[in-house]
Amino acid sequence: GFYFLSDDFILLKQAKSFLYSFRGLFATAGADGSYRPFTHFYMSVAYTWAGTNPMHWHWTELSIHAANSISVFVVARMLGFSRLGAAFAAALFAVHGTRPEAVVWLAGRADLLAAFFVLLGLASFIRFWSGGGAWWFVGSLLSMTLAILSKESAYTFALLLVVFLASKNALRTRRALYALIPFLVVTASLLAWRISVLG
């Protein structure tokens, strides 16, 4: 039931004034000075129904956090954890109190979205690596892109893939190298674009 706080007012004002100018969205920093175009776009879409009602925003944040917690379970199972181990990891992720601002603070929406797309991208890559088709690879690459456009912390996605491939003793194989190159190229390209926008 908490009302808005600090940066929330800036973000809501930007969301309200968004006129679907995608060029402006991807070519300028947000009202809070950050370059998070997907997060700003998402908030603009959410504003059309949530408006300035804090409960609508908080319920949306809790829903995304619940989806992320379920995704932790799914990824843990795909990594070979037991059902109990995966459930414990997901429950710990869901209730751990070190980062509550990501769930209860409107400005923390970027963290929720980045986590959602990172987890989705990891699940897609693991499925691809386990014999899934090329669409899983494309889905993982797209998820990484959306994660990076949601928050800067997602630039570590390619590193997570390196850790995953190393855990499978596949890092030195040609298949792993060919799989990693597109992720590294897209990451470097998005970083270069971000630097050009922010100066």
Q: Mind listing the pLDDT tens digit for each residue in 146-180?
A: 999 999 999 999 999 999 999 988 888 899 999 99
Write phi, then psi, for 153 (nearest 5 degrees). -60, -20
**What pLDDT score does 31 carry?**
62
State yes or no: pLDDT of 184 exceeds 90.
yes
Specify the pLDDT at position 21.
Answer: 67
* Assessment of whether the complete model's pTM goes beyond 0.85: yes
Strands, DSSP E only, in the chain? none
Residues 6+ apart with CB under 8 A from 133: none
CA distances for 178 relative to 137, 185, 189, 197, 198, angstroms: 11, 11, 17, 30, 31
Q: Coil, strand or helix: which one is 177?
A: helix
Residue 195: pLDDT over 70 = yes
Residue partners of 196: CB distance under 8 A and separation at least 6:
none
Sequence-ordered list of residues with C-beta below 8 angstroms from that of 128, at least 6 positions apart, any chain:
134, 136, 137, 140, 179
What pLDDT, in 10s, does the model give residues 116-138? 999 999 999 999 999 888 999 99
